[in-house]
Amino acid sequence: MSVINEIFRVIFSIFNEMSFYLLLGFLFAGILHVLVPQQLFSKYLSKNNWLSVLYATLFGIPLPLCSCGVIPTAMALYKEGASKGSVISFLIATPQTGVDSIIATYSLLGLPFAIIRPIAAFFTSIFAGLVTNVFTSDEQPVKVHIQKNMEEQKLSFGRKIKKVFQYGYVEMMEDIGKMLLFGLILAGLIAYFVPDNFFTIFEGNTILTMLLILVVAIPMYVCATGSIPIAIALMMKGMSPGTALVLLMAGPAANIASMMVIGKVLGKKTFIIYLITLIIGAIGFGLFMDNFLPAGWFDVSNFGMAAHNHHGGFYYFKVVCSFILFILLANSILFKKHREEAEVMENNVSKNAIAFKINGMTCNHCKANVTKVISNLKSVKEVTVNLSDGIAYVDGNPTDEEIKSAVEAIGFEFKGRI
């Protein structure tokens, strides 16, 4: 019983430190999603030059897209005419950061880490995009005509506020909630079972430690926010700050699913460039942190003591925030399927609608991109996508080949009618 209590204590300590900042980050994510026109992203990314790479990086860093949601978004940008260099920059910059994870990084790892993390993502993305442009300079960007979505009409102030909270505290929670809880539980297990100063066995060979972390982090599916508690738990066991940065960069930016899609849609050469530049950037900035920045900036030895300080009103405020965040996470996980079914009913899906099975949708961004590409088909009148079941209900007269081409163009698997 003491084992469970100790693991739970660590999980609660980390959760309590993050809760207020996560709630704030999710709010900012909703504001950003509602107020920034999505058409801007593809408008400035089509040129095969350094400026499109810069724009893609600047667009990507604040966006609150998880490591799965960034894939269909990036593939949609590519199909709308974005260059491969800008797409690779977007793929590397976006899942590592986001306003929610930057704020959460500050809450647990401090201001220096919260500043360095987006800086590392920025320069690594620029580097990756420029290298991709050099090696794919003979390839022309794909250009697919996409009809304007006329339902993007001006919303009233009240509708905008509702959309901000709906996106931030429901859709974003659904997208990263499980990964966040996974990260917290793993942090608790690490804190209890990994011996103190475990990483001293690699003392004097930081690169070996980083390579070990890369082997684990690159195929692992973890979001930018969910990776933070894992990083702090390992740092408390003696892992260097630079190695923690490698985990925070490589974990969210690469996973098995994303790598397969990149290889399929952008080609093997682009995939290899993406992976190599990401590894070089992560190790380079990790070594820079460990060798040229004051170690005191990244000291987490007092984290446990700070978390146990039960004095002062702010502690109880954080407990209230933790309770609210827990309720929101529970709602996102437990009632997601119910909301999906209610949406299908609410949209009055026609009895004549054709149901198509589509594999690979894992978040609301996936759902939005699948809805968009199918809606743009001239033979389609209306689309309702059930994310939980992976089914698109299509009203109209599309052929299987039309639906297959549309969804596979952005990296999903078409399984046919059901």
Average pLDDT over residues 213-224: 78
Compute the distance between CA of residue 66 and CA of residue 72 in angstroms, rounded to an integer.
11
Predicted pLDDT at 146 = 43
Contact predicate 390/418, CB 8 Å: no
Q: Which residue has the higher pLDDT, 150 or 68?
A: 68
Q: Which residue has the higher pLDDT, 82 or 211?
A: 211
Predicted pLDDT at 282 = 95
Distance of alpha carbon 16 from the chain centroid: 22
List phi, psi (to 5°) of 78.
-65, -45
Contact predicate 230/188, CB 8 Å: no
Sketch the domain layout of the chain as residue ranges: 2-329, 336-417
List phi, psi (to 5°) of 64.
-85, 55
Residue 95 above 70 pLDDT?
yes
Q: Which residue has the higher pLDDT, 116 or 145?
A: 116
- The DSSP annotation for 287-336 comes to HHHHHHS-GGGG--TTHHHHHT---SHHHHHHHHHHHHHHHHHHHHHHSH
Residue 151 above 60 pLDDT?
no
pTM score? 0.72
Q: Which residue has the higher pLDDT, 409 or 290?
A: 290
Average pLDDT over residues 53-70: 81
Predicted pLDDT at 147 = 44
The residues, any chain, with a CB within 8 Å of residue 371's CB and separated by 6 or more, are: 383, 384, 385, 392
**pLDDT of 17-49, one tens digit each?**
778 877 887 887 788 778 766 666 667 777 778
Predicted pLDDT at 67 = 65
For domain 336-417, which CATH number applies: 3.30.70.370, 3.30.70.100, 2.40.100.20, 2.60.40.1260? 3.30.70.100
Contact predicate 191/238, CB 8 Å: no
**pLDDT of 282-310, one tens digit each?**
999 999 999 999 988 998 876 654 444 55
Residue 171 above 50 pLDDT?
yes
Predicted pLDDT at 253 = 85
Predicted pLDDT at 140 = 58
**pLDDT of 103-122, one tens digit each?**
888 888 889 999 999 999 99
Alpha helices (H) along 167-300: 172-193, 206-217, 227-235, 241-253, 256-266, 268-292
Compute the distance between CA of residue 91 and CA of residue 74 in angstroms, rounded to an integer.
7
- For residue 395, what are the β-bridge partners? 382
Average pLDDT over residues 265-269: 84
Specify the amino acid at residue 417: R
Predicted pLDDT at 80 = 67
Predicted pLDDT at 305 = 44
Lowest mean pLDDT among 51-60, 184-193, 369-378, 385-394: 184-193
Average pLDDT across the chain, whole number: 81
Distance of alpha carbon 385 from the chain centroid: 21
Question: Which tokens hold the place of 257?
Answer: 């699913």
Predicted pLDDT at 148 = 42
Predicted pLDDT at 159 = 86
